[in-house]
Structure formats: structure tokens, C-alpha cells
């Protein structure tokens, strides 16, 4: 290996950008090489044996200092932009929830259209994430991040200026694609950072998330009327413009070792198409059932059946990728599946990803912040407790405020107290199970202080689980970047499915409770408009009918809380099993450690014979203190 090849190898590890030949004379001008014994670095995987050279940082010329400062500045700007995006998406998602009734009145939308204002956003986020993550390997991550920013801004513009519900739903779908790209690339960036820096980034994301979810309901309450709701989307436009300029300024043109055309051919287009069609068809069919069409109608059965079968085919194709039965062998040759579902073959890793799905089913993902709860808690406060829209926004604050310090708690437990991340996951599920179970005690006779206290514990639980599950996925999976993408995808898949499933449960329970009342003959029609139920009840003139609907709504909400608590308890049991399995594996392996583990096998491509630098006695390269800028790609 020549010296130029070696420098390219090291540089590409950190920045995925090879040395430019013009920089070569500058780099090799300063002294920085010495012979050394075995030198190993667990973070970089570089090991140099006796008789080889190692790179030192004793001499730090201006060129390298300027280069390091530039890379650190670019990394900090990118991370700051991702944190602001976290705030923006959280505010947008949580404010729109409280504005749905005002939007439906302004655009004359029915219950189904109102439902799709939120569902289309989640569905687009869920489907777009693995596709955009795969495209980021072809066009670089900053390019896909710029495209996602453009889509988020374009979708916001369409939503702000539309006069029809159909165009609004289309704009929300475009918004969802953009938000999905930003979200998955945020977690891919986390997967590329070293552990301590990654935990700090997760803590920052949780802090900005908490601020966004606190401000979101307030913004929705203030701007959620039928005359001012457009400003919720207009506020996104200047933020997207500024962040787009920042991202463009920190992006760089990398020198790819493989042409883009070859990388595009490496993508599994058949798998991407099958995945998109199956998930869209399945979730759309589930949303139709019981609201737009009866469950026995062919227009409900057909998309659910076709989507379910296509999804099973996709899963089988991913797990049995080497079998000749399945078409599209491109990704099998190059190792680029749409979703590497073989990660579920390990019980501990599978527990993490299943837990992320359950977290999405119950509380949704971090960026949309407990979408299922934010969909049903306003119904409780406005219908059962008869609070105003602004008061409802304030009453949602205790649960969202409880999230802010929890990421810091996880950071302290893992780094300072040296507690295993598996214990933090278990603690999160204990709090979440207890918190969702406590929601079953919400009723019309509870005081305001009691309502607030009953909401805090579930907020603490989800605040712990968000960073703990991300850290668990990174530690349990060999490919940290893919693990981050798969984790966030499973969350949003659970989010999209969870909103639909909990909506179905609520409608079914409401129909059952109204069957024996005066609403019995038209129970189906009443429950079909459950999405706009709180607005209809508040405008009812008859107090007797109003009391019947309030009582039925209270009992139906209790069914939703019980189902969430049961799912949380299931995840708690899975976490206990994973923890016991990990403890057993640790004890079994403790007696088999040998002295050979003290040595690190060095990559053969990094071996440097003594005569490599025969004509180059001086070279300097800064390796320490550089962030893992490979995540910038």
C-alpha cells in the first residue's frame, strides 16, 4: 500500500472523503510519524504492530488546525439544524391535532377527511423513511436532508394556501415525506456518533422535543380556529428556508469511490415498491373499516387482504433473501436490503425493535409526541370536563413537560452511574405501564389537580424510553446506522397503525355503549363521526342527550386506556426476558475470557511497512478529537 492510499483510507474513515492530490504536499510537509509498539484504538479499529508507524498529533500545523476547526463547525451546524427540525416537527404535529376541528369547519370536511389530516402525515413518514435512508447512500445525506427540507416547506405552503380538504391531505402527505427524511437522518447521525457524543445529541433532541410539544398545544389552541389555522403551516416556511440555507452551506461535494449509477443499480427497487404498496394498502384499509365503509364491505376487505399478503411476502423476501424463489437479486449481492429484518433473529435486538413498535402503538414517536394520547386526551378534557380549547392545551403540558429531564436522567444513569442501558429500558416500561394504567382512573368527578398528577407518570416513562431504546438498538445491533433507521421506522409504523387501531377500539366501544340508549338506532352514524365528536357534543342543546353521550364517551375512553396499558405491560415482560437473557449470557461468557482478548487484530489494509515513508519522513494527520464526520455524508 502506498502512502497516498493509506492517507485516503484514514481520511475516508472519518469523513468519507478521500484526500485531494493538491493537499498531499501540504499534509506531508510537517513531522508526525514515529515507530511504535502495538497501538490499538477501539473507536477507530486501527492497530499498528512493532516495525510499523503510527500517526501522532504532537505537531499541529495550521493546515490541520484549520481543517479540524472547519469539520467541527460543520458538524455542530448540522447537529444544531437537526435539533431545530426536531422542535419544528414537534410543534407542527402537536398543534395540528388541536386545530383539526377548526380546519374541518373551515373546509367543510367530514369525519373521515378529518381523520386523514393526521393519518396521511404519519403514513407518509412511515413509508418514506427506509426509502430516503437508502437514497442517502447514493446522493449523500446532506443532499437528501436538503430535499426533505424542501418537501417539508412545500407541503406546509400547500396546506397554508389550500381551499379544499383533498389538497390539504395531499399537502400533509408531502409534509410527512419531508419530516420522515429529517427524522430518519437525525437518528442515522446519532448512529454514526461515538457513544458519549451520541447520548448528548439524544439529550438535546429530547430537550427540543419537550419544548416543541409544550409549545405545540399552545400554538394549536391560539391558532386553531377556523379563521387562523393557516398560520400553523405558514410559521414553518421561514424556518425551513433558514435551515435549508444552513444545511446547504455545510454540505460538501464528496469524491465517491463508486459511481452513483452503480449505487442506484444496487438499490432493491422491487422491494421498495412492494414495501410501499403493502404498507399503504394495509393501513388505508384499516382506516376505512368502521368509519368510511363497514368491516364486511369489499372496499375494506380488499385493501386489508392485499396489503397483509403483500407485507407477508415482503417480510419473507427480506428474511429469505438468498433463496432463488424471490425476484430482484441485486440487493442480495451487495447487501443493501430495504429493511434488514434479520436483526429480529436475535432475541435481545428483536425485543428492542418490538418495544419501539409498541411504543409507537401507544404513544407514537418522538417527533409527533404521543399522537394517540394527544388525539384522545383532548376529547376527555373538552367533552368530559367541558374545558375550553386554550385550557385543554395548558392541561396537556404536565405530560409533555415530564419528558424534558428524562433524557438527562438516562445519560446520568448510563454514563455516571454505569448502569446498563437494559435497566433504563426496563425502568421506562415500568413507568409507562403504570402511567397508562393510571389513566383509567380519569373521570368526570376527578379534580383538576388529580387529572394533572395522573398524567405525569406516563410522560416520565416515554421520556426515558425514547433515548433508552435508541441506545439499546445501537448497542445490540452490529450496524449502528441501520439499527437507528430500523428503530425509527418501527416507531412510526407503530404510530400509523396505533392511531388507526385505537380509533377503531374507541368507535367500537362507543357503538356498544350507545346501543342500549336513545341513540341506539343511529349509533352507527354517531360513531362514524367520532373524530369530530367533541365539537358536536359541545353544541348539543338537549342536556339529557348530551349527558348520555358524555357517559358513553367516558367509558369508551377507558377501553382505550386499558388497551394501552396492556400493550405496555407486554413490552415490560419482553424487556424482563431480554434482561434475564443478557444476564445469563454474561455469566456464561465470564469464565471463557482469555489473554488473547487483550490484543486487537489490525486491518490488513492499514499495515505500513517501514519503507513506505522512505521518501516521506514528514507527515501529519489529525485523528484525535475529530467527530465521526462519516455521518455527514
pLDDT in tens, 208-230: 877 887 788 778 878 878 788 89
Of 357-371, 460-474, 479-493, which range is least confident? 357-371
Domain membership of residue 210 (yes or no) is yes
Tell me, yes or no, whether 349 lies in a domain: yes
The count of other CB atoms within 10 Å of the CB of residue 522 is 11
CA distance 438 to 429: 14
Same domain, 173 and 198: yes
Q: What is the mean pLDDT of residues 243-250?
A: 84
Q: What's the confidence (pLDDT) of residue 284?
A: 79
Query: Is residue 408 domain-shared with residue 511, that is, in the same domain?
Result: yes
Maximum separation of any 2 CA atoms in the chain, in Å = 95
Residue 501 has pLDDT above 50, yes or no: yes
Domain range for 325: 268-335
Sign of CA dihedral 351, 355, 356, 357: positive
208 domain-assigned: yes
229/83 same-domain check: yes
**Residue 633 belongs to some domain of the structure:** no
> Does residue 452 have a pLDDT over 70?
yes
Look at phi and psi of residue 118 and say left if phi exceeds 0, alpha if psi is from -120 to 50, else beta. alpha
Decide which of 277, 312, 335 is a domain's last residue. 335
Chain centre to alpha carbon of residue 254? 27
Q: What is the mean pLDDT of residues 193-214?
A: 74
Range 485-505 average pLDDT? 75
For residue 610, being part of any structural domain is answered with: no
Residue 603 is assigned to a structural domain of this protein: no
Distance CA 365, CA 281 (A): 21
Tell me: do 459 and 535 sit in the same domain.
Answer: yes
Closest to 254 measured CA to CA, from 593, 443, 15:
15
Judge whether 113 lies within some domain: yes
* Local confidence band at 90 (pLDDT 50, 70, 90 cut-offs): confident
What's the rounded mean pLDDT across residues 67-96? 77
User: Count of domains in the chain?
Assistant: 3
Q: Are residues 9 and 114 in the same domain?
A: no
Q: Distance between CA atoms of 513 and 242, rounded to whole angstroms?
A: 51
What is the predicted pLDDT for the residue at 374? 64
Q: Are residues 409 and 556 in the same domain?
A: yes
Cell of 431: 413507568
Shared-domain flag, residues 388 and 503: yes
**Same domain membership, residue 374 and residue 480:** yes
Please tell me whether residues 56 and 117 are part of one structural domain: no
Query: Judging by DSSP bridges, how do beta strands 33-36 and 52-55 pair with one another?
Result: antiparallel
Query: If pLDDT is split at 50, 70 and 90, which confidence band does 130 have?
Result: confident
Which one, of 90, 377, 401, lies nearest residue 232 by Cα?
90
Q: What gap in Å lies between CA 173 and CA 120, rounded to an integer?
A: 5
What would the mean pLDDT of 564-580 be, rounded to a whole number?
86
Q: Let me know whether 300 and 370 are in one domain.
A: no
Same-domain check for residues 313 and 450: no
What value, to the nearest 5°, has the Cα angle with vertex 14 and ends 10 and 17?
Answer: 80
pLDDT band at 420 (very low <50, low <70, confident <90, very high): confident
% of the chain exceeding 70 in pLDDT: 63
Residue pLDDT, tens place only, 518-553: 777 776 666 665 556 666 676 676 677 788 888 888
> Would you give the DSSP letter of residue 20?
P
| Whether 357 and 475 share a structural domain | yes
Domain of residue 460, CATH code:
1.20.1250.20
From 289, 316, 335, give the residue that closes a domain.
335
Answer yes or no: is pLDDT of 157 > 90.
yes
Does residue 607 form part of some domain?
no
Amino acid at each position: 500500500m502506498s502512502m497516498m492510499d493509506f492517507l485516503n483510507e484514514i481520511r475516508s474513515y472519518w469523513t468519507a472523503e478521500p484526500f485531494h492530490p493538491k493537499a498531499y504536499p501540504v499534509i506531508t510537509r510537517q513531522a508526525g510519524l514515529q515507530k511504535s509498539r502495538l497501538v490499538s484504538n477501539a473507536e477507530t479499529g486501527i492497530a499498528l504492530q512493532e516495525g510499523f508507524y503510527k500517526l501522532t498529533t504532537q505537531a499541529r500545523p495550521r493546515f490541520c488546525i484549520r481543517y479540524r476547526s472547519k469539520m467541527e463547525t460543520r458538524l455542530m451546524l448540522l447537529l444544531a439544524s437537526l435539533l431545530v427540525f426536531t422542535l419544528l416537527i414537534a410543534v407542527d404535529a402537536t398543534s395540528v391535532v388541536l386545530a383539526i376541528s377548526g380546519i374541518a369547519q373551515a373546509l367543510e370536511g367530514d369525519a373521515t377527511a378529518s381523520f386523514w389530516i393526521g393519518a396521511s402525515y404519519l403514513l407518509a413518514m412511515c413509508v418514506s423513511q427506509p426509502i430516503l435512508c437508502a437514497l442517502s447512500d447514493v446522493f449523500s445525506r446532506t443532499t437528501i436532508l436538503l430535499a426533505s427540507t424542501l418537501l417539508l416547506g412545500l407541503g406546509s405552503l400547500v396546506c397554508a394556501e389550500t381551499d379544499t380538504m383533498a389538497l390539504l391531505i395531499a399537502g400533509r402527505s408531502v409534509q410527512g415525506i419531508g419530516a420522515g427524511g429529517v427524522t430518519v437522518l437525525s437518528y442515522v447521525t446519532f448512529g454514526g456518533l461515538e457513544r458519549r457524543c451520541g447520548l448528548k445529541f439524544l439529550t438535546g433532541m429530547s430537550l427540543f422535543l419537550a419544548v416543541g410539544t409544550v409549545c405545540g398545544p399552545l400554538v394549536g389552541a391560539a391558532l386553531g380556529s377556523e379563521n387562523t389555522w393557516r398560520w400553523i403551516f405558514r410559521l414553518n416556511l421561514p424556518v425551513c428556508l433558514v435551515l435549508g440555507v444552513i444545511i446547504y452551506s455545510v454540505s460538501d461535494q464528496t469524491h465517491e469511490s463508486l459511481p452513483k449509477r452503480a449505487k442506484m443499480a444496487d438499490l432493491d427497487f422491487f422491494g421498495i415498491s412492494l414495501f410501499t404498496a403493502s404498507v399503504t394498502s394495509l393501513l388505508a384499509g384499516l382506516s376505512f373499516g368502521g368509519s368510511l365503509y363497514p368491516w364486511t364491505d369489499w372496499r375494506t376487505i380488499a385493501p386489508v387482504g392485499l396489503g397483509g399478503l403483500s407485507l407477508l411476502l415482503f417480510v419473507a423476501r427480506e428474511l429469505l433473501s438468498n433463496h432463488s424463489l424471490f425476484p430482484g437479486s441485486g440487493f442480495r449481492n451487495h447487501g443493501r436490503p430495504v429493511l434488514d429484518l434479520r436483526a429480529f433473529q436475535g432475541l435481545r435486538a428483536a425485543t428492542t425493535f418490538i418495544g419501539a413498535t409498541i411504543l409507537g402503538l401507544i404513544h407514537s414517536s418522538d417527533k409527533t409526541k404521543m399522537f394517540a394520547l394527544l388525539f384522545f386526551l383532548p376529547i376527555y378534557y373538552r367533552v368530559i370536563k367541558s374545558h375550553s380549547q386554550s385550557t385543554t392545551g395548558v392541561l396537556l403540558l404536565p405530560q409533555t413537560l415530564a419528558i424534558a429531564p428524562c433524557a438527562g436522567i438516562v445519560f446520568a444513569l448510563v454514563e455516571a452511574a454505569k448502569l446498563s442501558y437494559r435497566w433504563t429500558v426496563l425502568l421506562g416500561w415500568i413507568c409507562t405501564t403504570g402511567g397508562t394504567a393510571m389513566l383509567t382512573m380519569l373521570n368526570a368527578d376527578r379534580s383538576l389537580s388529580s387529572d394533572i398528577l395522573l398524567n405525569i407518570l406516563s410522560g416520565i416513562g416515554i421520556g426515558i424510553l425514547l433515548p433508552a431504546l435508541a441506545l439499546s438498538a445501537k448497542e445490540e445491533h452490529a450496524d449502528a446506522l441501520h439499527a437507528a433507521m430500523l428503530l425509527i421506522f418501527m416507531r412510526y409504523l407503530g404510530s400509523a397503525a396505533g392511531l388507526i387501531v385505537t380509533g377503531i377500539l374507541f368507535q367500537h366501544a362507543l357503538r356498544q355503549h350507545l346501543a342500549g340508549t336513545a341513540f341506539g338506532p343511529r349509533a352507527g352514524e354517531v360513531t362514524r363521526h367520532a373524530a369530530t365528536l367533541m365539537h358536536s357534543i359541545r353544541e348539543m342543546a338537549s342536556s339529557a342527550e348530551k349527558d348520555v353521550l358524555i357517559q358513553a364517551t367516558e367509558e369508551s375512553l377507558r377501553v382505550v386506556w386499558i388497551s394501552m396499558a396492556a400493550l405496555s405491560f407486554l413490552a415490560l415482560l419482553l424487556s424482563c426476558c431480554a434482561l434475564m437473557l443478557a444476564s445469563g449470557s454474561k455469566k456464561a461468557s465470564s469464565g471463557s475470557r482469555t489473554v488473547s482478548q487483550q490484543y486487537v487484530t489490525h486491518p490488513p489494509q492499514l499495515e505500513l511497512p517501514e519503507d513506505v515513508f522512505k521518501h516521506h519522513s514528514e507527515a501529519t494527520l489529525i485523528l484525535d478529537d475529530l467527530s465521526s464526520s462519516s455521518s455527514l455524508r
